[in-house]
Amino acid sequence: MHATLPLLEETDFPAIRRGKLETLQVNLGYRCNQQCLHCHVNAGPKRKENMERETAEQLIEFIKAANIKQLDLTGGAPELNPNFRFLVIEARKLDVHVIDRCNLTILFEPDQEDLAQFLADHQVEVVASLPCYLKDNVEKQRGKGVFDASLAALKKLNHIGYGKQGTGLTLNLMYNPQGPTLPPSQVELEIAYREHLQDFGIVFSNLLTLTNMPIQRFGSTLISKGEFEGYMQLLRDNFKQENLNNVMCRSLISIDWRGYVYDCDFNQMLNLPAMLSNQPKTHIKDLMQTNIDGKAIVIKDHCYGCTAGQGSSCGGAL
């Protein structure tokens, strides 16, 4: 795989600082039952990195100390980590909103038969990747058999109330483009998704669009095809100043499977730790008494992926 960081080091992206910290985004490890082409984590079934209980306990302590409002669990497939359910249960006891970034097919993995009900019982918001409503496009990106399994998983979630009004169970779908283009309008695409998924009897809460980041597997593919520079130019040409105030790193920190802190998940994947102490890397256990509001954010050229067009974040368009 080609390294992308050397191509992103030199940047004229504007300096940004942290606002109020509200969200703890936690990457529980890189193991996943899938191996998607666009994956910025390079996750897959053979990855061994997995968060341990001691780190998960430190995260709960941090949530209490920093009065965190939202816990966003990602991976890999976060549900494969034995501490996933511990984190959900403990965070919900503190009335923290919990998001599970779910790849849908995980619901049919061995030992996960009760996962959907567990999520519902704890009112976890499910954000599910479904990069298109057309089978061919989904399977090109996520692998054979993934489309049918994803629809079956959505039906299972709908069956227990997810995506239905009045249940309090949020089911958001996440779209990202197939290739080196910006996502279309989130509002218009949501209408198209609703129409197509209605044919299968599937409902959902909202569609979130995400711009592909020129890093890891997607970035490497761009380099192989000679499309890296063109994609970066597209991101730069579509820079929107108004998106800068809302980039997600202003209100979240991202934690890796060992407990180290980054300004966002993308920086985590580029091994660019947050500059929050005089150490090269800051561990979450050393942040318990520290107010990080106003600290400078580590930026590189990939940050243009967050500000292009309608903007992009883990919560969709900005």
Residues in contact with ligand SF4 by CB under 6 A are 32, 34-36, 39, 41, 43, 75-77, 103, 129, 247-249, 263-264, 266-267, 297, 299, 302-303, 306
Tokens coding 221: 């593919």
State the DSSP string of 238-276. Answer: TB-GGGGGG-GGGTEEEE-TTSBEESSHHHHHTT-B---
* Rounded Cα gap, residues 310 and 211, in angstroms: 10
Nearest distance in Å: CB 186, ligand SF4: 17
Nearest distance in Å: CB 121, ligand SF4: 24
Q: Residue 131 or 180: which CB sits closer to ligand SF4?
A: 131
Q: Residue 41 or 99: which CB sits closer to ligand SF4?
A: 41
| Residue labelled with tokens 């038969």 | 113
Nearest distance in Å: CB 71, ligand SF4: 18
Burial per residue of 182-194, b for 16 or more beta-carbon CB atoms within 10 angstroms, e otherwise: bbeebeebbeebe
Reading phi first (left if > 0) and then psi (alpha if -120 to 50, else beta), residue 179 is in beta
Nearest distance in Å: CB 205, ligand SF4: 20
Q: Residue 87 or 149: which CB sits closer to ligand SF4?
A: 149
Nearest distance in Å: CB 203, ligand SF4: 22
HSE-up of residue 227 (Cα within 13 Å, Cβ side): 15
Residue pair 23/229 in contact by the 8 Å Cβ criterion? no
Q: Phi, psi at residue 71, to the nearest 5°?
A: -115, 120
Q: Residue 35 or 137: which CB sits closer to ligand SF4?
A: 35
Identify the three-state secondary structure at position 308.
strand
- Amino acid identity at 81: N
Q: Residue 150 or 158: which CB sits closer to ligand SF4?
A: 150
Nearest distance in Å: CB 76, ligand SF4: 5
* Rounded Cα gap, residues 226 and 107, in angstroms: 37
Nearest distance in Å: CB 72, ligand SF4: 13
Residue pair 294/285 in contact by the 8 Å Cβ criterion? no
Q: Residue 90 or 172: which CB sits closer to ligand SF4?
A: 172
Closest CA to 196 of 157, 160, 156, 150: 150
Q: Residue 60 or 315: which CB sits closer to ligand SF4?
A: 315
